[in-house]
Structure 1
Amino acid sequence: MTDRNYGHTESGAPITDQMIERLADEAEAGFDVDEILARRGKRGRPRLGSAPSTVESVRLDPQLKQRLATRAKDEGVPVSEVIREALRQHLSAS
């Protein structure tokens, strides 16, 4: 009996009857919940500080927005990092 092909995995491997049986056997045997939960905490963006960050919205005129985008590109950092650093410098100067 030849395996039927059900498409491909993300890596390009064919999804066959044999693969489906193996995955079903693993699922029926159960999963290590502690391992799954341990991996879950490592996803997403890293925190910027000790607590979750907030999102603040500001309006920028087109010229300021362009200067901001240029600076971020020149420094190879996200626009948000340029904004955070400028705000830190401004607040520490006052």
Structure 2
Amino acid sequence: MNAQESINGVPVTDGQIAAWVTEAEIGYDVEKLKKRGRGRPGRGAEPSQVVAVRFTVEELSVIDARAEREGKTRSEVIREALTISAA
């Protein structure tokens, strides 16, 4: 084992490697591995697309104030406004 091998700056020991090997040999629950964990949740069945939009400081202040007032995210407020405007 190379003494410089590390994960996030923490050295990896031979004991850790042996434990990982044992775990892999036992096998993994594929369904459990497929379950979504950390990260941004999806918004629907289809992939969403990120679109860059520029706002002034004043516009963002208004959006953020509304989001805070309504207990929503900035993105939710913007999506709602676009939905209403496009209707």
TM range (shorter): 0.5 to 0.7
Q: Could you give the per-residue CA deviations for residues 37-58 of structure 1, whole angstroms, max 9, x where no partner exists?
A: 6334312222112112111111
Runs of at least 5 residues in structure 1 that lack an aligned partner in the other structure = 1-19
TM-score (ref. length: structure 1):
0.60
Identify the match of residue 27 of structure 1 among 20, 23, 28: 20
Letter in 2 for 1:47: G
Q: Could you list the structure 1 runs, at least 4 aligned residues long, displaced by more than 3 angstroms after superposition.
A: 23-26
The alignment status of 1:63 with 2:53, answered yes or no, reads no
Counterparts of 1:1-94 in structure 2, within 5 Å, are 21=15, 26-31=19-24, 32-33=27-28, 35=29, 38-43=32-37, 44-92=39-87
Residue equivalent to 2:6: none
Aligned length: 72
Aligned-partner Cα distance in 1 for 2:82–2:48: 15
Letter of the 2:83 counterpart: R
Unaligned runs of 5+ in 2: 1-13
Q: TM-score, normalised by structure 2?
A: 0.64
* Cα RMSD for the two superposed structures: 2.4
- How far apart are the structure 1 equivalents of 2:17 and 2:53? 50
- Counterpart of 1:69 in 2: which secondary structure? helix
Q: Which amino acid aligns with 1:68?
A: I
Counterparts of 1:28 and 1:61 in 2: how far apart (Å)?
54
Larger Rg: 1
